[in-house]
Structure 1
């Protein structure tokens, strides 16, 4: 029997391996990745400063440790040049040498890469993105070189706001720029966003909304001038882009695996190619692309059973997302995009509870702002129906 091969060493890849090992300690398992395969929790990157964690303290285990822990061969610094799906084998390249690796089942846990905006200017190549530990190490090194601590963040989404709060709490001067009229535009309604923004502004964070960056230019002493589409100018020491992620589809497309926004799978996480599965930020499961921790864990548990011979459909219970912004504690359970909802809001002394109600008066999502509202998380979650049908 050929091994099960996992491509990718991110949270999804390691979660799939860990869940499979709980069920099957012996079947040969191989992980192939282009990096050093350090195991770490990616969400910790956006609040590591407040937690006083240096980049080298974030990793939970290197490849050697994880290989022993999971009884798994880990091929680091190894590129998958081709998936030969008919032959159930991979063409690999490491240190300039090519080799063939057979598989019985193949798991694509190839993640997503940051979207990069087309920005003019001789400073645009210096804009940081933080999508992995290596990116974060470079970002922190650059931060430590500047005393003025002026940081401009492109993107007022979940990651942008988390980084803004983390940086502001460590005495940086933070400006957040977004084309949308509000922060977290894709996650929360305008009236909650307004209160959320106000709480972050009280810490000193500046939001510049309804515009975008046109040019980043190097000026004296390593500073950057940022030119906005509205004619405004800003000066920063460090620029961070957090405008979203794009699933890595190149390998899948080259293998004639069907893709849309992500790699298309059914609720067994199967692609259209036999014995090839997808999981994590790259996987679009029955039309849903959910780049959050809890969906990845649900996928990993289901896929492990399927790989072990017991076909198991992924099941998504209601899964609230906690936004790591201590200045404005926020928990969000987005309503399904294909459901018309109206918002019912209860104002609290330190925030609000906003419930997304469908036309049958059922709760389909919610936003909890503030510490008092957060206490309603469990009771409200129980009222929300499952996100995805469990039919193939």
Structure 2
């Protein structure tokens, strides 16, 4: 019997391996990854500074530890060059040498890549993205080497705002640039976004909205000159891009696995090719793309059962997302994009609660800003219908 092969050593890949091992201690498992396969929680990267965590304190285990813990062979620094679904075989490359690897079942946990804006200037290659621990180490090393601590962040989405809050808490001077007229534009109604922005601005974070970065250039003294489309210029010591992620679908396209925004799967996490499954940030499940921790855990538990012979659909209950911005405590449960909603709002001394109500009067999402509103999270979550119902 050929091994079950997992491509990718991120949270999704390790979660599937861990859940499968709870059900089946013996079946051969093989993880293949292009990096060093260190296990860590990526969400911790955007608040590690305020938590006083150095990059070397973030890992939960290296490849040797995880291999022993999960009774799994791990191939590090190995590239999957091609998938041949008809032969149940992979083409691998390591140290310049090609080899083949058969599989019985294949799990794609290949994640997502940072969106990179087309930015002019002789310093555009110096713009940091933080999508993994090695990226984060480079970012932190650059921060530590600079005295003035002026950071420009491109993107006022969830990750950009989390990094802004973390950096501001550690005495950096932070400016956030976004083309949208408000932070978290896709998640919040305008008046909640305004209150959220005000809370962050009170800590010293500066927002420049409704414009974008055109050019990043090197100045004579080692600073960066950031030129915006509105004609404004900023001086920075470090520039960080956090404008979003795109599911990694290049490998799957080559294998004729159906894709849209991500790798298309059924509720059983099956792709269009037999015995190939997708999980995590790359997986578009029943048309839903959710790059968050809770969906990954739901996927891993369901897929582990399927891999062990018990065909199981994933269950998506209502899964609120806690945004790591202590200056403006925020929990968001986005309403489905294809549902028309109206917002009902209740204000508190320290924030507000906004409910997304559909045309039938059903609660479909909510936003909780501030500590008072946060206390209603559990009660509200129970009122929201499942995104993908549990199998009967």
The match for 2:59 is 59
Aligned length: 392
Aligned to 2:326: 326
Give the secondary-structure state (helix, strand or coil) at the position aligned to 2:345: strand
2:168 matches 1:161: no
Tell me the secondary structure at the aligned position of residue 220 of structure 1: coil
**What is the match of residue 88 of structure 2?**
88
Match of 1:190? Answer: 190
* Map of 1:181 onto structure 2: 181
Per the TM alignment, residue 390 of structure 1 is displaced from its structure 2 partner at its CA by 5.5
User: Structure 2, unaligned stretches of length 5 or more?
Assistant: none
Q: Is residue 2:385 matched to residue 1:385?
A: yes
| Root mean square deviation, CA, Å | 0.9
Cα offsets for 1:28-71 (capped at 9, x unmatched): 00000000000000000000000001101100000000000000
Q: What TM-score do you get using the length of structure 2 for normalisation?
A: 0.99
Q: Is the 8 A contact 2:268 2:311 kept in 1?
A: yes
- Asked if the contact 1:353–1:373 (Cα under 8 Å) also holds between the matched residues in 2, the reply is yes
CA contact (8 A) 1:90 1:100 kept: yes
Taking structure 1 as the reference length, the TM-score comes to 0.99
C-alpha separation in 2, matches of 1:373 and 1:390:
28
Q: Is the 8 A contact 1:109 1:278 kept in 2?
A: yes
1:228 partnered with 2:228: yes
* Kept in 2: contact 1:363–1:383 (CA 8 A): yes
Q: In structure 1, what is the Cα distance between the partners aligned to 2:246 and 2:270?
A: 20
Q: Is the 8 A contact 1:5 1:30 kept in 2?
A: yes
Q: Which residue of 2 aligns with 1:311?
A: 311
Which secondary structure does the structure 2 equivalent of 1:302 belong to? helix
Contact 2:317 2:389 in 1 (8 A): no
Counterpart for residue 102 of structure 1: 102
- 1:388, CA displacement in angstroms? 2.2
Alpha-carbon distance in structure 2 between the residues aligned to 1:221 and 1:141: 19
Structure 1 residue 389, shift from structure 2 partner: 4.5
Q: CA deviation at 1:222?
A: 1.3
**Cα distance in 2 between the residues matched to 1:22 and 1:171:** 44
2:300, 2:13 → 1: CA distance?
8
Residue 17 of structure 2 corresponds to residue 17 of structure 1: yes
Which residue does the alignment assign to 2:345?
Answer: 345
The ranges of structure 1 where at least 4 consecutive aligned residues each deviate by more than 2 angstroms after the TM superposition are: 388-392
Is it true that 1:201 corresponds to 2:211 in the alignment? Answer: no
SS of residue paired to 1:234:
strand
- Structure 2: distance between partners of 1:172 and 1:160: 14
Identify the range of structure 1 (86-95 vs 122-131) with the bigger mean alpha-carbon deviation: 86-95
CA distance in structure 2 between the partners assigned to 1:240 and 1:312 by the alignment? 41
- Structure-to-structure mapping, 1:126-145, within 5 angstroms: 126-145=126-145
- For 2:237 and 2:2, locate their aligned partners in 1 and report how far apart those are by CA, in whole Å: 52
Indicate if the aligned counterparts of 1:267 and 1:390 stay in contact, CA closer than 8 A.
no
How far did residue 96 of structure 1 move? 1.4
Note the C-alpha offset of 1:162. 0.1
CA distance in 1, matches of 2:197, 2:57: 31
